[in-house]
Amino acid sequence: MLSALTPNEKIAAMDILWRDLSATSTQIVSPDWHGDVLATRSQNPSSEPPLGLDAAFDDVRDRLDARRTQG
C-alpha cells in the first residue's frame, strides 16, 4: 500500500498522522530512553545557535538526503 504512494503523498500522509497524534498527545507515553536523551542534551547543550522550525526541518531533510545518497 505505501509502496504505491509517491514521496509527496507519503509526506502528506505522515503530516496527517502527525497532526492527529499531536491532537491527542496526552494519551501517548514516551519511552524511557526519551528522558535519557533529553537529560543528556540538557547537560551538554549545543554550541550552535537554535534554528527556527522551518530551518530545522530543512536541516533534517538535508541530513536525511545526504544519508540516502551515501548509500
**CB 51, CB 59: distance < 8 Å:** yes
The model's confidence at residue 27, banded by pLDDT at 50, 70 and 90, is confident
Residue 18: the pLDDT is 92
What is the spatial distance between Cα 34 and Cα 25, in angstroms, rounded to a whole number? Answer: 15
Q: Calculate mean pLDDT across residues 5-30.
A: 91
**CB 21, CB 28: distance < 8 Å:** yes
- Where would I find the H helices in 1-71? 7-23, 32-43, 53-70
User: Is the pLDDT reported for residue 31 higher than 80?
Assistant: yes
% of the chain exceeding 90 in pLDDT: 63
More confident residue, 69 or 3: 3
